[in-house]
Amino acid sequence: MADIIERSKKKSYPKGRQVKPASLDLVQDLLGERARDRQHLIENLHVLQDQLGHLSRDILTALAAEMKLSQSEVYEVATFYHHFEVADYAAGEVPEYTIRICNSIACELAGANELIEKVKYNFAEAVRITTVPCVGNCQNAPVAVYGKRQIDAADPKKIGVALEKDQSTPLLPNYQTLEKYQAENDGYEILKSCLEGSKKRSAIIGEIDQAGLRGMGGAGFPVARKWQFLENAEKPRVLVVNADEGEPGTFKDRYCFETSPHKILEGMLIAAWTIEAEEIYIYLRDEYPQIHELLTIEIDKLELAGISSFANIYLRRGAGAYICGEESALLESIEGKRGLPRNRPPFPAQQGLFQRPTLINNVETLYWVREILANGAEWYQSSGSPRFYSVSGRVNNPGVVQAPSGTTARQLIEDHCSGMLEGHSLKAFLPGGASGGILPAALADEPLDFGSLDDHGCFVGSAAIVVFSDQDNIRDIALNLLRFFEDESCGQCTPCRLGCEKMIGLMAPEKWNEELINDLSSVMRDASICGLGQAAPNPVISALRFFGEEL
């Protein structure tokens, strides 16, 4: 009893990491009047990362106190996303320059690994170099990122020039502004007719249904049917725009935003009106700061003009996580959490963002919504149900191609991209980015459309066409793609988390063990929670199927 009394007299100290007043003052100053509720955690982490260049543990502790969250909640979110650097630097050790070099498949083909060595040689210790997955600028490969600008880095001298300039603000593309859109395309007249009652919701859905529009994010689900899921749902309802195209080789959504953003915004507002959504969230991948800037400008114009008065629009930044392209992981991220896919049911149309009935549409999908309503379902079908193809790799003129659905890889290469690079002949191609599989040149005349490649074990997905030549090694290509999936797995489910790692191990020997690879692939496809783990084996399986002699 005496021991207990004696111990009680001693001074007690609180356990855990304590908030430092100076760090709390800094966090409060940087956040200013920004919201502190949970859903704004990622946005607030961006503010601190942008201003400080990294996130120290003292800053994370202060942020947790300021937002009234547990330190573990803040830490697990900050360390989940690639674009947040959680690090404790001593005074004077914070790197002055950080160059991020893309090492995804198109950039690796264009010499990303050699570029890293050149940058190290030219800039020595002045620059810290890190690698990043696809930044959505494959037509300009290899690409480096410094600050908020992407650099066509084929010549390291361009990096030297970039380091001398302020990279804190992005360069805006020459896009169609609200004023030009209204003058040149009768912008928002369709939305106006909806709001005035001359167009009915049932007629809008009917036109989209007649056109046969399918989702352009990769799954190809009929758009009209997806909208109809919301017809009898409870209110309030939400529309989410998935602008997180992270599939290696995909940059079509970037093209749509950088040229005609208001076609997407009008399609978005029409969709919101049709399903009677009161709120709209645009989830934009963080690799596109220039699009974030232009959307901020143009959305403000819409609000000032009263065009979007029936719905509140919120623009949210991703933070570098491919998994957030999966719709339920995207919802988790908007809510300020780690991007972990949800088990389904319930589906988003039943319980989506903040547990409200939610419609999720891709950027290109909404672009075609507006075009179909402006020109008619018959126009869309007679034009071949056009879509955008992202083409990169060993072609003379890589870029985004608008062509009818079912266009072949050979047509894209020869008719739209000026053929193969000099000295290169077509060997293989990705029909749908990293997850769509690898097809040989012998199948370059197959139509690239939803379902057309099923017999070959591949799919078109988001139509990211990466072209390979006789100078490329299929083993190296498959390994690059699997390493991408290993890095981007959210880690939630064992088949994906360990499956990607074990698959890479099975690819190391000179001769692949086909039986083990097939067994592991079956487990990953059958037991993974979402499409990442289910599709990750596709490059390996298709490589074995079509290029077995090389392996």
**427/491 same-domain check:** yes
Within this chain, do residues 39 and 153 fall inside the same structural domain, yes or no? no
Task: Kindly state whether residues 62 and 187 are assigned to the same domain.
Answer: no
402 and 483 share one domain: yes
Q: Are residues 111 and 199 in the same domain?
A: no
Q: What pLDDT sits at residue 156?
A: 67
**401 in the same domain as 373:** no
Residue 492 and residue 351 in one domain: no
Residues 350 and 475 in one domain: no
**Cα 393 to the center of its chain, rounded Å:** 20
Q: For residues 436 and 454, give the distance between their C-alpha atoms in angstroms, rounded to a whole number.
A: 10
Q: Do 146 and 35 reside in the same domain of the chain?
A: no
- Chain segment 488-546, per-residue pLDDT in tens: 999 999 999 999 999 999 999 999 999 999 999 999 999 999 999 999 999 999 999 99
The domain total for the chain is 4
Give the per-residue pLDDT at 77: 98
Whether residue 11 is contained in a domain is answered as no
In a domain, 187, yes or no: yes
201 with 285, same domain?
yes
**CATH number, position 60:** 1.10.260
Q: Is residue 2 part of a domain?
A: no
Question: Any idea what the CATH number is for the domain that residue 487 is in?
Answer: 3.10.20.600
What does the angle CA 14 – CA 15 – CA 18 come to, to the nearest 5 degrees? 75
pLDDT of residue 12: 57
Residue 358: pLDDT band (50, 70, 90) is very high
Q: What is the pLDDT of residue 115?
A: 86
Average pLDDT, the chain: 93
Q: Are residues 417 and 350 in the same domain?
A: no
Is 172 part of a structural domain of the chain?
A: no
Write out the residue range of the structural domain in which residue 527 sits: 387-550
Asked if residue 1 belongs to a domain, the reply is: no
Q: Convert the pLDDT of each residue in 194-242 to its tens digit.
A: 999 999 999 999 999 999 999 999 889 999 999 999 999 999 999 999 9
Q: Point out the domain boundary residue: 163, 197, 213.
A: 163
Q: Is residue 14 very low, low, confident or very high in pLDDT (cuts 50, 70, 90)? A: low
Going by C-alpha positions, the residue among 284, 447, 432, 301 that lies closest to residue 362 is 284
Q: Is 211 helix (H, G, I), strand (E, B) or coil?
A: helix
The answer to whether residue 534 sits within a structural domain is yes
How many other CB atoms are there within 10 angstroms of residue 496's CB atom?
27
* Residue 238: per-residue pLDDT: 98
Q: How far apart are CA 205 and CA 202, in angstroms?
A: 5
Residues 290-336: pLDDT tens digits?
999 999 999 999 999 999 999 999 999 999 999 999 999 999 999 99
Percentage of residues in the chain with pLDDT exceeding 70? Answer: 96
- The DSSP code sequence of 443-471 is GTTSB-STTTTGGGT---TTTEEEEEETT
Same domain, yes or no: 245 and 273: yes
- Backbone phi, then psi, for 473, in 5-degree steps? -105, 120
